[in-house]
Chains A and B, each alone.
Chain A
Amino acid sequence: MKQKDFFNINRLRFLQYASYLAVALIAFRLMDIQLISHEKYALAAEQNRTQILYQTAPRGRILAADGKTLAGNVPSFSLYYLPGSQKVDKEYLSSLSSDIASFLNTDSKDILKLLNKGVKSGKAVLIAQNISPKRAFSFSELEVYYSGLYLLEETKRDYPNGAFAAHLLGYMGTMDNKFWNRKEENTDYRLNSKIGKSGIEKRYESELKGRDGGLYLEVDYMGRVKQKLKDNKWAKGADVWTTLNFDVQKAAEEGIKKSITGRGAAVVLDAKTGAVLAMVSAPDFDPNVFIAYGDEGIHPSAKKIPEYNLALQGMYPPASTFKTITGIAALENGRLDLHDHTTCKGKIMMNNREFKCWKTHGPNIDFMEGMAQSCDVYFYELALKTGANSIEKIQKLFRLGQKTGIDLSGEKRGNIYGPSKRARNRTYWFAGDTLNLSIGQGELLLTPLQMAVYGAALASKGNIYRPYYIQKIVDPQGHILKENKPEIIARAELKEGHYEIIHQALKGVVDRATGRAARVEGIDVYGKTGTAQNPHGDDHGWFLAFAGLPGQEPDIALSVFVEFGKGGSSAAAPIARNIIKAYYGVK
């Protein structure tokens, strides 16, 4: 072996190790990119190559108890232009844009601008959305003439009965910041997605939503459409079955709207379950205006709506309907003798102050007559006998002044008062306050919903139900996502026979006195009118009622409130009559 003295072993080693180091470094980084961060890059690659044209899924329907559709879906179309590989000249685009514009009633220059943008970038452009099926038909003809036009079928919310139960159903609208920031919970929302903004639409947004579909297009690095990758079918949202009785709701709405002011609220409950059969608040609105077809031309002023739901947010003095409470208090206290009678001289003097009755009723006013005629003087005297404390106790027994617990946001709790509450607030209680309290005036405030729940408690002899308006929510596969069962929050127990006395008194109101306007032939109707004094204008009219078939337990309980209606017997009672007729199907 000859001696190889010409190479420098140390320097070779150095080069050798340098190359090992470099190879190791590169291998490590390759593993980082291709193994550790693979998912991040895979997602980026997928986003690179796909452009998605979303299709809004049909929302779940909102149905009345009998299956009538209260909120459904109708087809709505979006018009896209997909620039393909084919060459287009200026004339083609300008004739296309003027044809599109003639169908959409817009300026053809705007359309041309969009088309040019699409051609330049090679990306699909949305030319128009929310197109009605009628217009879409015209576009489908254009689709044949012009390659590149693409009509995508979507759906939009539709309320076939217009303003029907609008406050309970709610309406749809564009997302606000607050919702957008929460959207991580469900990523199926886009900037132009419509969401429920109030009522059931808002409360059950996630159930109603469904999953949007999409047309996945493969695009190259210039964004040019290469091919259709897949057509993801949407998934329909779950149907919400309400407890609303279509006919009852209709009767209640028509009644309130045709009353002398057209303003007010009505709540009808199933007296045996607490289910909401109708809930009306007027003035109302047509939720369709927010989601109208683009070619319908809705005036923006139509979108200023009365969102205030009087049925659970409006608070008013219960007035004479409260005499039932005073009566129960006296009964329970043992201070009521059904045979006692008094003479109504139209007023009573208390501490040099005059307390008026609405009418001079004359002699022989006993409990039944006092209730039937709604004689204030009788109840002033009854209240003085039983005392304000007992009345306050009965208010609490029936949970007045507390939320009814209905699953709707914004419910008000109303206001009750009495000597103990005054004492807590370190103010005084005067005898005059007792008189005011006995006829439901003063600081007392109740919502129509609370009134109806109270009515149901009277009707069912003490069951205070949590009112509910959702029967069940059923997804398209038939799975029940939610089901409501009647829930008794509390029992208002009275002594033996006392409910029957109240029922008898209330039946008398309807059969022969102030509540005659609510009489229905062949149905036992129990009711109490109320006329709330309003220092700011006309008095409000109340009617509290429940009804049942003769000799049977009452089926429904309701409250009708007509704002500025002047009187309970004139304004509210006839509406109650129509509601009861609708419920029993009496012509």
Chain B
Amino acid sequence: MFSKDNSTKRSSIDLVLMISVALLALIGFAIVFSALSTSPLGQNAFRTQLIALPIAVGAFVFGWLFNYQIYSEQYKNLYIFIMALLIGVLVFGITQRGSHSWFRFGIISFQPSEICRIATILISAAFLQRHKQEIKEFKILVLLGIILLPIFALIMMQPDFSSVVVTAPALLILLFAAGVNIYYFCLILAFGLTAGIFPILWTYLSLNPTLADNFFAHIVLSLKDNIWYILGFSIFIFAICWFFKQLLKQFRVEISGVLIFILAGAILSGFFSGLFVEKKMKPYQRKRVEAFLAPKSDPKGASYNVLQAQIAMGSGGVFGKGLFSGTQSRLGFVPERHTDFILAVLGEETGLFGTLAVLFLYALLLWRTMLIATLSSDIYGYLVCCGIFGIFFTYLIINFGMLIGLVPVAGIPLPFISYGGSNLVASMWAFGIVENIYRRRLTVI
């Protein structure tokens, strides 16, 4: 597909991408209408969605017409603007659903972290563009981390875990596409995996108390609060890494001691991040992890939600029960039916046709975004496309994945389909930018 040379065509908009976005937004609009019709939120919520739609179209047009290279030029100001928004929401914002992450203007509320996801990609891409000569060096990663850390810290203070859950994998994809040294990439992965695995391990062990007698289980459990065990574990990790270096020597692969030291450091900092997450995890979030680890153990508990969502989808069959006719969603068996579990409503009311159509349109979006990345006239456009691809790929995996039992319930909406004005506006803006990159594919700087 990359070999196909579209650069000779002089069209200023990629119709496939635009039509996909329009269709998704249309389907989303109908499904949200249906899901909200019996919701206690009802009319008010639908009115907000109605207001958001023209704003979102405006955002798309803005993104399409506005030269994307200006984001790169002004990335410092963009950074300041985002920081101001995030600090502002902590000071002036209001609390909804346990998160202090909304601005309220009259009847409209606005969630700045949605805009931040796109902005983070724009800023990171601008930074990487400026350092494309040193992209393989480790200091670039450290610098990028330092730049992004305040943004993540402010988002975590709201707290808005779901924003982090989507942005972090998207950044990884961006770094991967930017050509970061695969070794450093593995370091970051090691960090992320350790950070993720330990809370899951601890939850798993608390679910299976009979395992506590096991020697390894005992060690893992003690790592949670025993300072001596943590110290021992740190030394053990360094020892393992050094042993690994010696092992590689046998195969005539020489790795510098510094790198091994950094690897151990990455694993350990991953462990401490995991410890931090474990301590900060809210009961409902732990329930979700538990439900993911043992979905059948407690059908009326946390996994009940996923089960009911699956029943809704499954009962829709191939053709669905028709809009406004899904019993599972209408009678409230499907939780969060207009946001995180909107796909269950879609599946129940429009059947396999509906879900496959949405999946297909998403696949189209991802394909076109990738294609436009290769057509881009400069590296910035390329990087931004890859970042946006990363964001929507993550959305797709998590939202579909949680319904089919692939990943834990993360409370993440499906852009275009789920209820939520801020998300719709941000998503439209993102694809507007992609269209602009397409439009300017032939411009020579």
A residues within 8 Å of B by Cβ?
1-2, 4, 6-9, 11-16, 19-20, 22-23, 25-27, 29-31, 33-35, 37-38, 40-42, 44-46, 48-49, 218-222, 226
Contacts and interface: CB of A to CB of B under 8 A. Distances in A.
Nearest to B5: A1
Interface in B393-424: 393, 396-397, 400-401, 404, 406
B382 A7 contact: yes
A13 B378 CA distance: 19
Interface of B: 1-2, 7, 132, 173, 176-177, 179, 308, 310-318, 327-328, 331-333, 347-348, 351-352, 355-356, 359, 362-363, 366-367, 370, 373-374, 376, 378-379, 382, 386, 389, 393, 396-397, 400-401, 404, 406, 444
Given A19-B363, A45-B314, 19 more contacts: A1-B7, A7-B374, A8-B177, A11-B176, A15-B176, A19-B389, A20-B363, A22-B397, A23-B396, A26-B396, A30-B347, A30-B404, A31-B352, A34-B355, A38-B315, A41-B312, A41-B314, A45-B327, A221-B331
Nearest to A10: B179
A4 B366 CA distance: 21
Contacts of B317: 34-35, 38, 42
Contacts of A30: 313, 347, 352, 355-356, 359, 400, 404
B352 A34 contact: yes
12 contacts: A2-B444, A11-B177, A15-B176, A19-B389, A23-B362, A31-B352, A34-B316, A38-B315, A42-B315, A49-B328, A220-B331, A221-B308
A84 to B, nearest CB: 15
Looking at A1, A2, A4, which has the most chain B CB atoms within 10 Å of its CB?
A4
A41 B348 CA distance: 10
B331 A34 contact: no
A42 B327 CA distance: 10
Contacts of B378: 6
A218 B331 contact: yes
Contacts of A45: 311-312, 314-315, 327-328, 333, 348
Nearest to B3: A9
B359 A6 contact: no
Contact of B370 (A4, A16, A35): A16
Given A42-B315, A45-B315, A12 B177 contact: yes
B314 A40 contact: yes
A32 to B, nearest CB: 8
Given A7-B382, A44-B311, A48-B327, A26 B2 contact: no
B177 A34 contact: no
B179 A8 contact: yes
Given A12-B2, A26-B359, A30-B404, A35 B177 contact: no
B271 to A, nearest CB: 27
A27 B357 CA distance: 10
Closest 10 CB pairs of A and B: A41-B314, A45-B315, A6-B379, A220-B331, A221-B332, A34-B352, A29-B404, A42-B315, A38-B317, A221-B333
B374 A6 contact: no
Contacts of B313: 30, 33-34, 41
Contacts of A46: 315, 327
A12 B311 contact: no
A1 to B, nearest CB: 7
Contacts of B318: 34-35, 38
B367 to A, nearest CB: 8
B85 to A, nearest CB: 30
Contacts of B363: 19-20, 23
A25 B311 CA distance: 19
B401 to A, nearest CB: 7
Contacts of A14: 176
A78 B328 CA distance: 30
A22 B359 CA distance: 10
Contacts of A15: 173, 176-177, 370, 386, 389, 393
B331 A35 contact: no
A122 B328 CA distance: 18
A220 to B, nearest CB: 4
A15 to B, nearest CB: 7
B320 to A, nearest CB: 9
B335 to A, nearest CB: 9
Contact of B314 (A33, A219, A222): A33
A23 B393 CA distance: 10
B132 A6 contact: yes
Nearest to A50: B327
Contacts of B331: 48-49, 218-221, 226
Given A12-B370, A19-B393, A35-B352, A26 B400 contact: yes
A48 B307 CA distance: 12
A276 B2 CA distance: 93
A317 to B, nearest CB: 67
B328 A48 contact: yes
A30 B310 CA distance: 10
Contacts of B7: 1
B189 to A, nearest CB: 14
Contacts of A22: 393, 396-397
Contacts of A8: 177, 179
A54 to B, nearest CB: 21
A23 to B, nearest CB: 5
A23 B396 CA distance: 9
Contacts of B351: 34
B389 A9 contact: no
B357 to A, nearest CB: 11
Nearest to A36: B314
A25 B359 CA distance: 11
Contacts of B327: 45-46, 48-49, 218
A41 B373 contact: no
A48 B376 CA distance: 52
Nearest to B396: A22
A70 B382 CA distance: 91
Contacts of B374: 4, 7, 12
B227 to A, nearest CB: 41
A4 B333 CA distance: 53
Contacts of A34: 313-314, 316-318, 347, 351-352, 355
B315 A44 contact: yes
A7 B311 contact: no
A1 B442 CA distance: 9
Contacts of B376: 4
A46 B331 CA distance: 12
A42 B314 CA distance: 6
Contacts of B401: 26
